[in-house]
Amino acid sequence: MNDTFLKACRGEKTDYTPVWIMRQAGRYLPEYLKVREKVDFLTLCKTPHLAAEVTIQPLDILRVDAAILFSDILIPLEPMGFKLQFSETKGPIIHNPVSTADDIKRLRNINPEEDLPFVIETIRILLKNISVPLIGFAGAPFTVATYLIEGGSSKNFLKTKRMLYQSTEDFLELMELITDNTIKYLLSQIKAGVHAIQLFDTWAGILTPYDFSKYSLPYIKRIISAIDHSVPIIYFAFNSSSLLDLIKNLSAEVIGIDWRIEISNAIKRLGKTACVQGNLDPCILFGDEELIKERVLRILKGAKKAKGHIFNLGHGILPETPVNKAIFMVETVHNLSMS
């Protein structure tokens, strides 16, 4: 197995900087769209041979150094009792969101092996068919809570914040429940053989640093200590430059950053506590090759003092991205970091 990615996660020396792309299996790939013509997104996630097929597509096409399990952070919510739909135009919709203490009491605890057997089976198929490490993942509790309370995506997260500030006990009970289930879900992925875990905290940045440290960080800490470094953990919080001083104490092996901060500055603030992942603006892939090369080089140079660096975009690749630019970016990271 090409273990460059795992070495970088552990802060060991590598021959070149490993690279993978958030949402690397997705709508910018014609091969993915072809599979999606036959099945909707939820069916794709629940059909192991198809989920494995689309997980593998970017490995062959882009030559990235890690695979990420094809699924979604909202997949474990169905067995908890939520009616989940992925609308082509509106994204995820939860038809029975949480608003009262009674709603929370009705939620079920999951048994991942029984309730999400397709995830375990997809991992099994992948381990037989790939030669790079496989990343498993889950949403961080606060991010998952926003979907459960809002019923989907949101602009100002009023319902979430209203529950947090008006019914704090209920909110924290929900956070406990999500955390318990996330731990079980991640441990089942690790048992099935994933080599690393990424926690996606897309909406961490909507909280004040004080509220983040009080109402979100303790639950992330609980997940990280339950995994107990059995595999490296990447904690990626979007829009989190103002939270780095709090995030650095998490004891995650890798901290993912978006593009709103110079990587050299993030490294200064994180010190040698963690490796760093990121941080190209996904829109740079709409520029010409010269621009991509310049910005890749800038990030590689900025990351020289890091304990370890995994190259990635600062958020998911956009569906409109030209595939040849993504291929060029991966090649450029490899070539420039080798010399």
Q: Please identify every residue annotated as catalytic.
A: 23, 27, 36, 72, 147
Least gap, CB of 147 to ligand CP3 (angstroms): 7
Q: Cis bond leading into 312, ω under 30°?
A: no
Nearest to 181 by CA among 47, 75, 48: 75
The smaller minimum CB distance to ligand CP3, of residues 27 and 260, is found at 27
Give the residue with the Cβ less far from ligand CP3, 238 or 259. 238
Backbone angles phi, psi at 157, to 5 degrees: 55, 35
Q: Taking each helix axis as running N to C, give the angle between helix 168-192 and helix 141-150, from 0 to 180 degrees, rounded to the nearest 10.
A: 120
Q: What is the nearest approach in angstroms of ligand CP3 to the Cβ of residue 78?
A: 14
Determine contact, residues 257/218, Cβ cutoff 8 Å: no
Give the nearest distance from C-beta 160 to ligand CP3 in angstroms. Answer: 14
Q: Which is nearer to ligand CP3, 272 or 322 (CB)?
A: 322
Which residues of the chain form contacts with ligand CP3 (CB under 6 A)? 22-27, 36, 41, 68, 70-74, 86, 91-92, 137, 153, 200, 202, 238, 316
Instruction: Give φ, ψ of 253 to 5 degrees.
Output: -65, -35
Two tokens, residue 125: 């198929």
CB of 277 to ligand CP3, least distance (A): 13
Beta bridge partners of 175: none
| Longest distance between any two alpha carbons in the chain, whole Å | 60
Q: How far is the CB of 196 from ligand CP3 (least distance, A)?
A: 13
Residue 56 or residue 275: which is nearer to ligand CP3 going by CB? 56
Write the DSSP assignment of 239-281 as a string of letters. T-GGGHHHHGGG--SEEE--SSS-HHHHHHHHTTSSEEEEEE-
* C-beta of 76 vs 316, nearer to ligand CP3: 316
Positive/negative CA dihedral, 295, 300, 306, 310: positive
